[in-house]
Amino acid sequence: MTAPLTPPHQPSSHDPDWPPPPPSIPGPAGDPITGTEVLQGVLVTLVSTIAGAVLGVLWLNLAPRVLLISDGKGIYLRDSEGEAAIGSDGTFVLLALAFGAIAALVVFLLRRKGGVPLVLGLALGGGLGSLLAWGLGTYFGPTSDVVAHAKAVGPSVSFEAPLELNLGAAAMLAWPLAAMIVHLGLTAAFGPRDPEPGPWGEPKPYGG
């Protein structure tokens, strides 16, 4: 009768003579983007674009007006030293910054995990919303046909100039930049944290 074969010595992970396993290397792309996240990004884009209509209405009603006057031969600024034109741009930018910050806060509260599609949705939606706001404000504001407007009101009568954005590119970027910066800041400060690695590079169990 032969004695049972004893298995060879299997060193445990606590054996000081046994080298530790090599650390795991994370994948280059991280977690894959799911279809649900893409749909959420598209929804954020659509809602932000529609919210641009509200921005346009607010800009139309809150922006200071530039007054013009005609003497029958030419059209001039009634107040050549006024800052109404700059105020129009400033009003749009301030409103756009507020809309971007609010959009980022709402998205973060609804989806704390964040993700690339949400950030892209905030950026794209902010740009489209700004374009819609600018279009609505200029369309429903004073007419762009200044000559016809001056003839209609008559000489020596003040009338409103068209609502314009002199710093159009900067104004269009205010909303998307504010949305991305605020959302990334909230995610970094209050978003979920990855589990701490264990002694051999393995994720530490939650609560362990």
pLDDT of residue 43: 95
Q: In what order do the strands lie in the sheet with 67-70?
A: 75-77, 67-70, 159-160
pLDDT of residue 26: 42
pLDDT of residue 65: 83
Q: What is the pLDDT along the chain (208 residues), one digit of tens a residue?
A: 555 554 555 545 455 554 555 444 443 345 677 888 899 999 999 999 999 999 999 999 999 888 888 877 778 677 765 566 688 899 999 999 999 999 999 999 998 887 889 999 999 999 999 999 999 999 998 888 788 887 788 787 787 888 888 888 889 999 999 999 999 999 988 877 656 555 555 555 544 4
Could you give the CA distance from residue 201 to residue 25 in angstroms, rounded to a whole number? 9
Which residues make Cβ contacts (< 8 Å) with residue 146, sequence separation at least 6? 68, 75, 161, 162
Q: Which helix (H) or strand (E) holds 152?
A: helix 146-153
Q: Torsions phi, psi of 136, nearest 5?
A: -65, -40
Give the long-range contacts of residues 198-202, CB within 8 A, separation 24 or more.
200/13, 200/20, 200/21, 200/23, 201/21, 201/23, 201/24, 202/24
pLDDT of residue 46: 97
pLDDT of residue 140: 92
Residue 150's closest CA among 74, 49, 38? Answer: 74
pLDDT digits (tens, 9 = 90+) for 92-102: 999 999 999 99
pTM: 0.72
Q: What is the largest CA-CA distance in the chain?
A: 126
Residue 158's closest CA among 82, 92, 86? Answer: 82
Match 């010595």 to its residue by tokens.
9
What beta strand segments (E) does 61-201 contain?
A: 67-70, 75-77, 159-160
pLDDT of residue 91: 94
pLDDT of residue 25: 41
Taking the mean position of all CA atoms in its chain, how far away is CA 7? 62
Which residues make Cβ contacts (< 8 Å) with residue 64, sequence separation at least 6? 83, 84, 87, 88, 91
